[in-house]
Structure 1
């Protein structure tokens, strides 16, 4: 398949070529690691991404317009947390979380009657939270993380003319400690391990999660209408809401 054909197959998997809103829901856990320390399951994790695909005339590909909300849960009860070790938990409200999809050879593995699109995204860029300004909240002046996605779709996605196909997914992320955890430059970090699926509609999001979104940020039930930037992350959001607190 050509890069353009692969991109269209992936776009059908991740979203819908007709521009309809598509909701992904996922669930999993967040584990900590640190030198000479046992691995710990710190949090459950649950999230929702609502996306709309539009043509991108500049690249010949697509703009994936999305909002994303995700919540840290008690690892036993799976209830949405308010605090952790006496600190307020800051959940994820990323608006936007947009992505440009250009024609490129999307890694594809054939698995019998399924195919898997896999994306490995290493990240390294200047941290929005420099250590000198946020010594309690930042591990390093460079933000480093690794995002690993797998999207599983019917093999027919390679030949169908339908705008979208069913999809299940897995996601793994290695990242520094979250800013609100106040771990400073302590060695170690977090591993997120989740799985989820493309829903038939937003109404299939678990009721507890829909109610929480409706009560706090109801706009997250829908995708953005147009491209905006920059994207929001937990680190940029923390900076917007918390003034620097350098050490004396």
Structure 2
């Protein structure tokens, strides 16, 4: 089998990433992941705080200069030992019992264009034997939706700073077959982030490390039961991708502000 994959031009890279991450036919593509969340704080041992399991459902829509990726995602914080979904959490630093706010981000949309503000579209790739890895390292720094003056119990900085690290792995043989609109994909995702707003950590130094791995599924029916039961019972809209572009994107920080979890100062 010919496993030569042309990835020289922006168009080739964009189409290859779209086939790996989603499906050029426009079908809904579920991506499920599981992993863990750890404490990263100065002077403290790394501590396993939560299990973390979730689902993103996306579809691509062709545009004049690329694709719109339309998606929404949901994820649940779990007891690190039993993996049961948490409703409340006892903060070991403050002794306070707080409500757990799971991830319900709708939308999480992206515009992939052949020309970007940094130049022609490029995504780093690495050949690993018969596998190809696309990686995206995304440092973030922007004004926080939760200014400290308004949310002193929930925010330690007026700037949101995080590092998101994505890797998407696929078969070179599958990607070389141009008749396939979608190719199999496994992924890893890691994030270094501040404390979550609902943890009520105030200005305590430190933050969190998320470390997950996941897989692209053929349909929503293949989502593992631990995730699917929660979605079917409480969040049925997260079983499918959005129908149309909307903005701005939702994050745990913007969701928290909109719902005014806790009492702003």
Same fold (TM over 0.5): yes
Does the Cα contact within 8 Å between 2:175 and 2:183 map onto a contact in 1? no
Does the Cα contact within 8 Å between 2:144 and 2:160 map onto a contact in 1? yes
Structure 2 counterparts to residues 158-177 of structure 1, below 5 A: 158-161=175-178, 162-177=180-195
The verdict on how the C-alpha distance between 1:106 and 1:87 changes in structure 2, with shifts beyond 3 A counting, is same
Find the counterpart in structure 2 of residue 102 from structure 1. Answer: 113
Counterparts of 2:19 and 2:43 in 1: how far apart (Å)?
44
| Cα drift, residue 56 of structure 1 | 2.1
| Cα drift, residue 33 of structure 1 | 1.2
Does the Cα contact within 8 Å between 1:133 and 1:245 map onto a contact in 2? no
The answer to which of 165-174 and 97-106 deviates more is: 97-106
The answer to which of 201-210 and 128-137 deviates more is: 201-210
Does the Cα contact within 8 Å between 1:13 and 1:157 map onto a contact in 2? no
| Cα drift, residue 217 of structure 1 | 1.5
TM-score normalized by the length of structure 2: 0.90
Unaligned runs of 5+ in 1: none
Does the Cα contact within 8 Å between 1:9 and 1:157 map onto a contact in 2? no
The verdict on how the C-alpha distance between 1:166 and 1:158 changes in structure 2, with shifts beyond 3 A counting, is closer
Post-superposition Cα deviations, 1:139-197, rounded to whole Å, max 9, x if no partner, equal 20000101000000001354322100000000000000000000011110000000000
Q: Match for 1:231 among 239, 249, 257?
A: 249
The verdict on how the C-alpha distance between 1:109 and 1:243 changes in structure 2, with shifts beyond 3 A counting, is closer
Counterparts of 2:220 and 2:134 in 1: how far apart (Å)?
23
SS of corresponding position for 2:177:
coil
Find the counterpart in structure 1 of residue 14 from structure 2. Answer: 7
| Cα drift, residue 61 of structure 1 | 0.9
Does the Cα contact within 8 Å between 1:28 and 1:46 map onto a contact in 2? yes
Q: Match for 2:40 among 25, 30, 33?
A: 33
Counterparts of 1:244 and 1:41 in 2: how far apart (Å)?
25
SS of corresponding position for 1:4:
helix
2:52 corresponds to 1:45: yes
Find the counterpart in structure 2 of residue 220 from structure 1. Answer: 238
Find the counterpart in structure 1 of residue 258 from structure 2. Answer: 240
Does the Cα contact within 8 Å between 1:65 and 1:224 map onto a contact in 2? yes
Counterparts of 2:130 and 2:13 in 1: how far apart (Å)?
17
| Cα drift, residue 243 of structure 1 | 6.7
Counterparts of 1:123 and 1:155 in 2: how far apart (Å)?
31
Unaligned runs of 5+ in 2: 1-7, 91-96, 115-120
Counterparts of 2:27 and 2:125 in 1: how far apart (Å)?
25
Does the Cα contact within 8 Å between 1:50 and 1:220 map onto a contact in 2? yes
Post-superposition Cα deviations, 1:82-104, rounded to whole Å, max 9, x if no partner, equal 11111110000000011111231
Find the counterpart in structure 2 of residue 151 from structure 1. Answer: 168
Q: Match for 1:92 among 98, 103, 106?
A: 103
2:73 corresponds to 1:62: no
Post-superposition Cα deviations, 1:59-106, rounded to whole Å, max 9, x if no partner, equal x11100001000000000000001111111000000001111123111
